Amino acid sequence: MNQLVGHTPAKAVRYKNLPTSQNICLDTNLRHYAVFEDGQVEIRSYDDLMGATTAK
């Protein structure tokens, strides 16, 4: 079983990979968020999103 959580803020997303689980803490004061699709978690950046949409 893997776990995805918030709660503990830091500047970067944190990963703790163990033999039987992946664990991700996503809380960076909303500088990052995640997309889950087809069984895969992808971490994305607010700054990248806003830069991409502003540039369009």
Partner 1 sequence: MRWLILPDAHDKILRANQIIERESHDHLLLLGDFFDDFRTGVTDAADTARQVKRWLNAPNTTCLLGNHDMSYGWGRQNRRLICPGYDAAKWITINGNLTNRDWQKFKLYAWLEGGERPWLVTHAGLHPCWLEGTEPGRYREFIDKLCADAWDSLNRGEHHFLLGRASAAPVIRRSAGSTGLTGMNWFPFPA
5 binds partner 1 (CB under 8 A): yes
What is the rounded distance in angstroms from the CA atom of residue 34 to the CA atom of residue 6?
11
What minimum distance in Å lies between the beta carbon of 11 and partner 1? 13
Residues 17-46 that bind partner 1 (CB under 8 A): 20-23, 25-30, 32-41, 44, 46
DSSP 30: T
What is the rounded distance in angstroms from the CA atom of residue 45 to the CA atom of residue 33?
7
| Interface positions with partner 1 (CB under 8 A) | 1-9, 14, 16, 20-23, 25-30, 32-41, 44, 46, 49-50, 53
